[in-house]
């Protein structure tokens, strides 16, 4: 791994290249790779090649390398450069900046997707029990498929991911910079290699026992969303009671699902019967950020008014894959599937989720791995893994008040055992907040420079929630 502009030649596994973003921004750096065992508990485990991109430090006194850990699980750190290019470039002032493709992701992915024989009938009203059972059968098929393909799923967990960071490391210290699942990985690494971590920058933190979200926290989030909507007169008039609207639409769809058409990338439309469960899963994704939540409110209002929701006007990345391709086989990706199952859920938390889901608006669809319980217990890392780390390492956590994926109450719990943690509350921010304001970059700069933070509360401008 290169260690800054002072190094005359890159390491043997690196080569210089110019990274070009989707918007044609460019930066000179290195692309590199290193090899690790797929499963460190097996002496004869096959080798994986882990890829990364490194941008050399530009400051006069660079500190430890800064390693970006993408979310998901399943996100590509290298691809994230396209979304956060300015932040990658700004952080070069403080050290080499590395975008890592974790095992099973992006350029580090040599795993086959599994296309099961399970197909959800697109035009039949089917109960949740059948829907969930078909997904459980799909997972069982895929577990067998990956085994036959020579994939050792026991190697795809956050503990192995953290050990990969140790394999990447050839300096005394590193800085970890993670979001969502990337924060989950950073927290696991803090426990495994605390002495090698200089400091940690997190946003939208997911604790080690928070892979499965608490349904009751969604209700609290919706109350905060209502307060935000109420700040805009037109939006308040259209959405006077968000919870009542959601409940009304769910009841309507439970009684009478509506036939819609799903636009396809290659052109044309496919017929689909929109059910209550679909809206619960769509809502589970769209509550991530205020802008996507605005789309979600439009969907619910349209159905409430007897209209067809304009799903085609929203980003496709928020929709469940099965919804976008009705009538197709249930398909699973190895890394995110195994990672979520491995992180799992403690028995105590599972009881909470089950009890809360009974009356929650989104039920138990916030994280689908909840429905895989008991199918691959050999992959579960156990409760010792899931306990919160305790550390004196400096940690900065940026939390959005309108984050509907990793709720702000849960994020505060994440840092409860971190004695040197600083929480910065970002009012009106959602799950993807790193690029939401220049003030966020300024806050990170102050933290790296070990200066007192000028603000521990930032406030962003809300999107327009009023109907289009």
Give 420's contacts (C-beta < 8 A, 6+ positions apart): 391, 392, 393, 394, 395
Q: Domain extents for the chain? A: 14-109+158-211+383-459, 114-152+332-360+367-379, 215-328
Question: For residue range 247-259, what is the model confidence (pLDDT) as tens digits?
Answer: 999 999 999 999 9
Assess whether pLDDT exceeds 50 at residue 348. Answer: yes
| Per-residue pLDDT band at 189 (split at 50, 70, 90) | very high
Residues 342 and 39: their CA atoms lie apart, in Å, by 13
Question: Under a CB-based contact definition with an 8 Å cutoff, are residues 279 and 311 in contact?
Answer: no
Question: For residue range 426-440, what is the model confidence (pLDDT) as tens digits?
Answer: 999 999 999 999 999
Question: Under a CB-based contact definition with an 8 Å cutoff, are residues 105 and 74 in contact?
Answer: yes
Question: For residue range 287-316, what is the model confidence (pLDDT) as tens digits?
Answer: 999 999 999 999 999 999 999 999 999 999
Q: Which CATH class is domain 14-109+158-211+383-459?
A: alpha beta
E strands present in 367-435: 395-400, 421-427
Query: How far is CA 394 from each of CA 90, 194, 407, rounded to the nearest angstrom?
Result: 20, 11, 22
Residues 191 and 210: their CA atoms lie apart, in Å, by 16
Residues 151 and 141: their CA atoms lie apart, in Å, by 14
| Predicted TM-score (pTM) of this structure | 0.95
Task: Return mean pLDDT, the chain.
Answer: 95
| Helix, strand, coil tally for the chain in percent (to 5) | 40, 20, 40
- Mean pLDDT within 2-30: 74
Candidates 13, 395, 3; CA nearest to 173 is 3
Assess whether pLDDT exceeds 90 at residue 265. Answer: no
Burial class (CB in 10 A: 0-12, 13-18, 19+), 304: middle
């Amino acid at each position: 791994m290169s260690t800054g502009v002072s190094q005359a030649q890159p390491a043997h596994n690196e080569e210089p290249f110019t990274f070009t973003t989707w918007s044609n921004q460019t930066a000179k750096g290195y692309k590199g790779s290193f090899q690790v065992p797929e499963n460190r508990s097996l002496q004869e485990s096959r080798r994986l090649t882990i890829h990364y991109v490194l941008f050399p430090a530009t400051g006069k006194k660079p500190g430890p390398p800064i390693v970006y850990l993408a979310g998901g699980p399943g996100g590509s750190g290298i691809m994230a450069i396209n979304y956060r290019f300015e932040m990658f470039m700004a952080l070069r002032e403080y050290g080499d900046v590395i975008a890592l493709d974790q095992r099973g992701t992006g350029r580090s992915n040599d795993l086959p997707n599994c296309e099961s024989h399970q197909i959800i009938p697109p035009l039949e009203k089917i109960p949740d029990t059948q829907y969930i059972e078909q997904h459980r059968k799909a997972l069982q098929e895929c577990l067998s498929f990956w085994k036959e393909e020579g994939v050792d799923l026991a190697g795809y967990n956050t503990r192995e991911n953290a050990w990969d960071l140790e394999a990447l490391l050839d300096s005394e210290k590193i800085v970890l910079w993670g979001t969502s699942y990337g924060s989950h990985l950073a927290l696991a690494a803090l426990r495994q290699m605390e002495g090698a971590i200089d400091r940690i920058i997190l946003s939208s933190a997911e604790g080690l026992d928070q892979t499965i979200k608490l349904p009751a926290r969604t209700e609290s989030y919706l109350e905060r969303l209502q307060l935000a909507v109420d700040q805009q007169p037109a939006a308040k008039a259209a959405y006077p009671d968000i919870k009542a609207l959601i409940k009304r639409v769910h009841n309507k769809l439970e009684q009478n699902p509506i036939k819609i058409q799903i636009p396809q990338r290659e052109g044309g439309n496919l017929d689909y019967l929109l059910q209550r469960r679909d809206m619960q899963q769509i809502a589970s994704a769209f509550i991530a950020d205020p802008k996507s939540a605005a789309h979600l409110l439009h969907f619910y209002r349209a159905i409430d008014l007897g209209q067809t929701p304009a799903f085609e006007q929203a980003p496709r990345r928020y929709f469940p894959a099965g919804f976008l391709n009705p009538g197709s086989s249930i398909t699973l990706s190895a890394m995110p599937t195994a990672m979520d199952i491995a992180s799992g859920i403690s028995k105590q938390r599972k009881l909470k989720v089950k009890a809360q889901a009974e009356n929650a608006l989104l039920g138990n669809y916030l994280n689908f791995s909840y429905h895989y319980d008991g199918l691959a217990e050999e992959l579960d890392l156990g409760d010792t893994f899931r306990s919160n780390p305790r550390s004196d390492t400096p940690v900065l956590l940026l939390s959005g008040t309108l984050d509907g994926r990793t709720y702000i109450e849960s994020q505060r719990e994440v840092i409860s055992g971190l004695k040197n943690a600083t929480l910065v509350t970002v009012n009106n921010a959602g799950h993807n907040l790193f690029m939401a304001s220049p003030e966020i970059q300024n806050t990170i700069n102050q933290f790296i420079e070990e200066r007192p933070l000028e603000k521990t509360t930032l406030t962003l401008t809300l999107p327009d929630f009023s109907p289009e």
